């Protein structure tokens, strides 16, 4: 139990996917202008990451390892994640048009989100059990959402502040992201990642 809790907390704060591992930076910078959209993206990623962790775990231990073809891991995982996102998109579009509207372009964007592939690969590297994989995925996704929402909140404020002309736009956003990342470094040592 403690083990699982440690994995969860570690993934959210200490080894935050965005701010410490620098995975999934493009959605982090791209869809964080508003807290609402950031939250939407976070939700979508949480959903996909958790399912992806489950499926890739099975692929690894029931197909890749038994056949001795671990070297094909990247291709196999990408294949599965991409199809998974497609499937999720179709199901959401049919079953909940409202949610589909809210998530909009973010759903297909997740296909190319390196955080999802990163998570699947890390799960295998760390030799997590099935349950641990799922918990790790949940933590990673929550950490991703947390980073997105915090950053979006900061950017909403920056929009209203008198930023010097040469820093406006992406420049100040990148500096802010760097500072936020530094702040998260403060969690190092809380849990051994």
Partner 1 sequence: MIEAVLSIGGIGLLAAVTLGVAARKFAVEVDPRELALLETLSGANCGACGYPGCSAYAKAVAEGKAEPSLCTPGGQSTLEKIAHIMGVAAVGAAPQVAVVLCQGDNLRAAAKYRYLGVVDCVAAQRIADGPKICPGGCLGLGTCARVCPFGAIEMTSEGLAVISREKCTGCRKCVGACPRQVIAMTPLDATVHVLCNSHDKGAAVRKYCQVGCIACMICKKTVPEAYVIEDFLAKVVYEHYQESGAAVEKCPTKCIRDFVDGYPEGSRFAPPVVPVKRQEAV
Q: Contact residues for partner 1 (CB under 8 A)?
A: 59, 63-64, 67-69, 72, 75-76, 79-80, 83, 86-87, 90-91, 93-95, 97, 160-162
User: Of 67 and 170, which CB lies nearer to partner 1 in the complex structure?
Assistant: 67
Minimum CB separation from partner 1 for residue 136, in Å?
Answer: 23
Minimum CB separation from partner 1 for residue 39, in Å?
Answer: 17
Minimum CB separation from partner 1 for residue 102, in Å?
Answer: 12
| Nearest of 135, 127, 144, 113 to residue 38 by alpha carbon | 144
Minimum CB separation from partner 1 for residue 105, in Å?
Answer: 10
User: Of 82 and 191, which CB lies nearer to partner 1 in the complex structure?
Assistant: 82
Minimum CB separation from partner 1 for residue 55, in Å?
Answer: 10
Report d(CA 147, CA 18) in Å as an integer: 7
DSSP string, the chain: -HHHHHHHHIIIIIT-TTTTS--SHHHHHHT-SSHHHHHHHHHHHHHHHHHHHHHHHHHIIIIIHHHT-GGGHHHHHHHHHHHHHHHHHHHHHHH-HHHHHHHTTHHHHHTT-HHHHHHHHHHHHTT--HHHHHHHHHHHHHHHHHHHHHHHHHHHHHHTS---GGGTTHHHHHHHHHHHHHHHHTTTTSS--
User: Of 2 and 95, which CB lies nearer to partner 1 in the complex structure?
Assistant: 95
User: Of 68 and 164, which CB lies nearer to partner 1 in the complex structure?
Assistant: 68
User: Of 95 and 125, which CB lies nearer to partner 1 in the complex structure?
Assistant: 95
């Amino acid at each position: 139990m403690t083990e699982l809790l440690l994995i969860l907390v570690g993934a959210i704060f200490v080894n935050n996917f965005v701010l410490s591992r620098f995975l999934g930076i493009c959605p982090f910078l791209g869809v964080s202008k508003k807290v609402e959209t950031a939250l939407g993206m976070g939700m979508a990623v949480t959903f996909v990451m958790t399912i992806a962790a489950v499926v890739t775990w099975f692929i690894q231990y029931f197909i890749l390892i038994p056949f001795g073809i671990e070297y094909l891991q990247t291709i196999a995982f990408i294949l599965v994640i991409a199809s998974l996102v497609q499937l999720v998109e179709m199901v959401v579009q049919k079953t909940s048009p409202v949610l589909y509207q809210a998530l909009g372009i973010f759903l297909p964007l997740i296909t190319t989100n390196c955080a999802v592939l990163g998570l699947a690969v890390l799960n295998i590297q760390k030799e997590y059990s099935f349950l641990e994989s799922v918990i790790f995925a949940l933590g990673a996704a929550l950490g991703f959402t947390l980073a997105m929402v915090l950053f979006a909140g900061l950017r909403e404020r920056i929009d209203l502040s008198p930023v010097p002309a040469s820093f406006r736009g992406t420049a100040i956003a990148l500096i802010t992201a760097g500072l936020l990342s530094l702040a998260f470094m403060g969690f190092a040592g809380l849990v051994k990642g």
